[in-house]
Structure 1
Amino acid sequence: MNVTGQSAVFGRRKEPHTIIIARGDQIRHFTVRPWIAAFLGSALAAMAIGYLLATSYLVLRDDLIGATTARQARMQQAYEDRISALRAQVDRITSRQLLDQQLMETKVSELLERQTQLSQRHGRLGPLIERAESEVGTPPAAAPAPVEKPDQHADATGSIGQIAQTYSVASLGAGDTRPFSLWSTRSDPLPSESSADRADKLFVSINQSLKNIESEQLTRVTTLADNAYKSADAITQALEAAGLPVDSDFGKSDSDVGGPLIPLDSSMIFDSKVKELDEALDTLDQLKKEARRLPLANPAPGHSVTSPFGVRTDPILGSAALHSGMDFRAPIGMQAKVTAPGVVTKAGWNGGYGRMVEVDHGNGFATRYGHLSEIDVTVGQKLNAGDVIGKTGSSGRSTGPHLHYEVRHNGEAIDPLRFLTVGKKVEQYL
């Protein structure tokens, strides 16, 4: 009954489990409560899960490490590729800048060389132009020569220096140690671009200025040479028209010429133009010397002619006679001047000429001055054109005070009017 009653009680109540351990005389027992069992189960489950996770990690760790390493390698490769591309870009830009710098230096060197050449030409032209202006003057029919601006050489020199200074700012000079990527990442325009543009504009401007200077130099040389040839031609034509001897080489053109065409550069053209001007001036100078040795001046300027050259009625006999000269009305005591340089060959009384002076001018030309009241030169004396040889009067075979003037060539009398006419034509060139 009791057992049944206990069992009924035990079945109605849940008693904690007790674990009894007997070892010899020792008996131990442990009461297992539900929460302890739950705790132990949870711990065992956690340990199992941890073990599984650790095992999975150990198994998958190599794959994870390999994937991470591959990812880092790809990132490093991409970074290195980017760096290589940037370096290549820097090298291209640097090479382009070096080429631009070399090109600009070459252009500046060419400009400096041209400027130096033009300065040397200007120095050569100075004395030649002064000589041309003194020899040629300004012929009436000639166009005025262009006047070269004095400040053009200085402006060209300053501008060339400005080109060099501008480009030195544009290039990556030694004073700028920043990497080129800093230049390329700036938001404002590159200094090299704007400076290079300014340098190019200055180069074009100064190159044009130097070309203008060179063109003006050539134009002026050509104009002076043309004026010299025109003056020489005018003198030659006047002398030939009067039947006076002229050197056959003057004004002679060489038309029978030929040969292959070889283009000339600017320096050769300039040298040829300068040579042409020098030859023209030499020709003109020689012609002037020849013309000045001829008796072309008027022995009594401002005084009328009372008797021309040629056949006339003799004033004393009243019959026809040859008058070997020209008579100019002149009062007694007026200065008589020689019409060309020469040497006195006669100075004294000479029959019907009365007091007479004869001057030899060379090349067979001579002049005589008769009826003088006074002689102020001696035989052998050298005279320049315009020197006083004496004073007018009425000595010898004369009806009144006047100046008898003769021109002779190889002893033969020539009409002085021809010389006076030529003298008026060439006076402006002499």
Structure 2
Amino acid sequence: MNAPASDLLLRRLDTASPDFEAQYAQLFARMAEEHAEIDARAADILADVRARGDAAVLDYTRRFDHLDAPNMAALEISQAELHAALAQIPAEQRHALEQAAERVRDYHQRQMQQVGQSWEYVDADGTLLGQKVTPLDRVGIYVPGGKAAYPSSVLMNAIPAHVAGVVEIIMVVPTPGGERNPLVLAAAAVAGVSRAFAIGGAQAVGALAFGTATVPKVDKITGPGNAYVAAAKRRVFGICGIDMIAGPSEILVIADGTTPPEWVAMDLFSQAEHDELAQSILLCPDAAYIDAVAAEIRRLLPGMSRQPIIAASLSGRGALIQVRNLDEACELADRIAPEHLEVSAAQPRLIADRLRHAGAIFLGAYTSESLGDYCAGPNHVLPTSGTARFSSPLGVYDFIKRTSLIEVSHAGAQRLGRIASVLAHGERLQAHALAAEMRLDHDLKA
């Protein structure tokens, strides 16, 4: 049973405490995202989908989504239905979708200009070297559809793929009980989804990875899902690409005490309401301000529509941590490497310049994390569980690939051939060496 707001016990930690490291270890003990039972079940589903294709997908859709479709055609969501949903949603929702899509598209177009261009140069020997950038042919985007509907995830996955030049974008989204969310379908129309299927879970991942008679095989799968989806994505990596293994949502707020405490409390709620396993943390050097935030949490929580989920998240994985100073807050934030990092301070850039590891950094009191989720422009598909130390947000670079270009001139073959010959003989790879040596002192144009 979830604790009522008045009894909510949110961890209070202090970095100056002798037992802080032990408390920290308990707070950040990484949950096993791939329990043996879940992984084994996902493996069985994938094997079945690989063997039986559409028939297996239909069976699991009946079992898990309680949707008894006669065939896969009944689970495909037509372009007409996507655009009908766009035409029928309230004008306010349509305007918000289109404005958000415009900002997300603009951001990723700028990103494409920076990272998505081919280039080449000619060195002193006349050898051409370079890189050719090409989009993937077909990608699958997984849109969650269990506890809530996520039209924003459609925009964040499909738009960068579209900007990158992906030819075909296949969307899968679970529709428990057969209920198709019109805002999700409208988002697919706005974002340029090519085909959409009302399927989810490990079976949808398998259908995209292996291909069936109805669902096309894709080159890469992106988008978050539940533990079964995560386990399935991990298992199909190598058959196709994946973006990342997404864990529960996270937010970390560094506060200097200048932001209204109710704003910070609500920002902590904004991730806690996703899932009981989500994690919300405040770092602040001011004990009185931490008290004020705690008081606002108690005051605001009873009025939240997802109060039980928020309460479970905050009491189970949340924390209010007093640090010695903002320098220590930055050090601890880098150690945590959170998905979302808010710098809620009077001079946020001074603090942000010291930070290295986060999925996204939100600067200043007015920059709520929720704006990044929906409409700021940067992608909201972010690394979790500390993987921001070595991973990046989803972007156009996830939908393009790089091919090296090498065109060696006659002069270059003379110089490079001798280098390659020495190294190849050192590795005892005779054919490598001879292939380079055969081109020495031979001019085909002479």
Regarding TM over 0.5, the answer is no
Q: TM-score, normalised by structure 1?
A: 0.22
TM-score normalized with structure 2 length: 0.22
